[in-house]
A and B are shown apart, each in its own frame.
Chain A
Amino acid sequence: MFEITVDGERIPSYEGETIAAALLAAGRLILGYTAKNNQPRGMYCGIGLCHECMMEINGIPNTRACQILATPGCVVNTQQGWGKGEE
């Protein structure tokens, strides 16, 4: 087990888990807010098709949390709209 940082908070994760899985296990369902209506969204298809689980992962916005494996020290932020990457 190790930890990842989500919106500044530490979340436990296991090797082989995707970020979306670790967040689901932690009961954090809201992964981002939509660009147009600012509506909360979470993982929907869970297999990489729908892009509803887009988050800022290690500074890269619009990254599908269901497709990226959690690694120690991973920094994840809830995405607002189109997201902000590292400048």
Chain B
Amino acid sequence: MRGKYSTGLGERRGIELMKTELAIIGAGPAGITAAIEASRAGVAVTILDENPKPGGQIYRQFDEGFSIIDADMLGRDYSRGQELLREFGKVAHKIQYINHSTVWGIFDDRLAYQDGKKSATLGFDRLIIATGAYDRPVPFPGWTLPGVITAGGVQRAVKIHRILPGSKILLAGTGPLQLVLADQIISAGGQIEAILEAGNINWFSFLPGIWRQWDTLVDGFRYLRHIWNAGIPLLRNHIILEARGDGQVEEADIAEVDKNWRPKLHTRRTLKVDSVCLGYGLVPSSELALLAGCEHRYVRELGGWVPLRGEAMETSVPGIYAVGDGSGVAGSKVAIEEGRIAGTAVARSLGRLSITEAQDRIAIFQKHLSRLKHFCGTLYEISRPRPGLYELARKDTIICRCEEITLEAIETAMAANAASLNELKRMTRSGMGRCQGRICGPTLFEIMSRKEGSQANEPGAFKPRPPVKPVSLDVLAGNPTSTS
């Protein structure tokens, strides 16, 4: 059985037709700060979180049974998380925190979620969506082989469990988070064969400019020193072309790329590796905001589909707010400020703060935000996916992992005039599987919108339908199954 994390009000869970003033989905940096601000002002807050404890992916807390031997190894990023969680701890007794809960639907002023093995609903006056982001999926030959794992997945294993993904590890991707992951792997005693940076980045000259934006980069130079000392090749303008192996990864082909990330094929060579970690930046988890009917637009700089928002983070649907990486990938510092703004705005809209009080507070957070936004552009520009990234797949490469749909099937449907992701889905089943288009969706958008002469330059997003995450019929019917 899974342990429950209680903030004192947990006993209220499970009551039919529960209702709260403010429901927050997600307890990462944005969700936590929204809860802190709203709760301080006297708003009744309920947080629904998929994880066992607050913190999200970035401030993921250690599971029971693990103790921290070397807090320093975790860097200042970890300390910042601890600080935030302490702040949350001071108001936690006023907040209903429901862990292990997956929200699978939003119906007007009520959301439906799976709480462990039962299904429940929660009514709300206001809703803040803080669902975060996930690693950008990039298909290439062999990317479905066991041993090819996203950087986020590897980080969770290394950071929380101190488990290494293999004995000869290849990191491929772009952006500063690769350095963070490399450092964590080195600290845990892992052997990295090479780190491939697709962009033309000289970290030593670049770091000072960006690390005020990404708190994880405060330790940037230390990471570089560790990588250097370990003798690991840090290859810029390099990309992974293919992974091969009998049942699992045994080797990978890499090559140098031009400024459009197209490989210079004469530089192609093979590395013997048993693990490939992919970190091509993040894409926002926007399905719940889409499902709620919030108007979205596709913003490459922010990773994908993001909701339109006003100054106070309110979406086009009155009473629904969206904050953090889930509404545009910009890092945890931005997420923290956005969360505070939304929490304050909700308190104001419920009459718990005067207009001037709220305005004064929001002005401060906005000032922090505008300072941070300055760096976002730079960071984006260096690791913006270039066209070559989406040209790695071959005809027989799987694009939709769930339904096992190849690039060839996608291209056939496009040739038959599929002009949107939804048409493509109907024609090929791509996006109909268990992940509900989270993995193939971002790729299909890029493939379709980049296709020359295509009518599909605005292919839209998959239309999300509840349940947005799989829920078993047992759970929906309220029949708890016997095992965890």
Contacts and interface: CB of A to CB of B under 8 A. Distances in A.
A22 to B, nearest CB: 8
B157 interface: yes
Interface string A36-70: 11011111111111111010011110100010110
Contacts of B64: 15-16
Interface string A1-45: 000000000000011111001001100011100111101111111
Main secondary structure of the interface of B (DSSP, over half): loop
B448 to A, nearest CB: 21
B156 interface: yes
A60 B475 CA distance: 13
A40 B401 contact: no
Interface in B400-445: 401-404, 433-435, 438-439
Contacts of B402: 51
Given A37-B404, A39-B144, A16 B66 contact: yes
Contact of B163 (A25, A51, A59, A71): A25
B153 A71 contact: no
A68 B481 CA distance: 15
Contact of A39 (B63, B152, B404): B404
Contact of A45 (B62, B153, B161, B481): B153
B295 interface: no
A24 B165 contact: yes
A69 B2 contact: yes
A47 B144 contact: no
B470 interface: yes
Contacts of A40: 145-146, 247-248
Nearest to B405: A36
Interface residues of B, number: 43
B161 A41 contact: no
A29 B146 contact: yes
B63 A30 contact: no
Contacts of B2: 69
A24 B163 contact: yes
A47 B152 contact: yes
B93 to A, nearest CB: 25
A47 B149 contact: no
B318 interface: no
B484 interface: yes
Interface in B48-81: 50, 57, 62-66
Nearest to B63: A16
B161 A25 contact: yes
Interface in B124-158: 134-135, 144-150, 152-154, 156-157
A40 B211 CA distance: 40
B152 A45 contact: yes
A66 to B, nearest CB: 7
A2 to B, nearest CB: 10
Given A15-B64, A42-B147, A51 B470 contact: yes
Interface core residue of B163, B402, B403 (most chain A CB under 10 Å): B163
Contacts of A43: 146, 149, 153
B167 to A, nearest CB: 8
B423 to A, nearest CB: 22
A30 B150 contact: no
A16 B156 contact: no
Nearest to A14: B65
Contacts of B481: 60
B153 A47 contact: yes
A15 B57 CA distance: 20
B483 interface: yes
B40 to A, nearest CB: 30
A60 B149 contact: no
Given A45-B152, A47-B153, 6 more contacts: A14-B66, A21-B157, A39-B404, A40-B248, A44-B149, A49-B439
Interface of B: 1-2, 50, 57, 62-66, 134-135, 144-150, 152-154, 156-157, 160-161, 163, 165, 247-249, 401-404, 433-435, 438-439, 470, 481, 483-484
Interface of A: 14-18, 21, 24-25, 29-31, 34-37, 39-52, 54, 57-60, 62, 66, 68-69, 71
What are the 6 A-B residue pairs with the smallest beta carbon separation, nearest first?
Answer: A46-B153, A42-B146, A15-B65, A16-B63, A16-B65, A29-B146
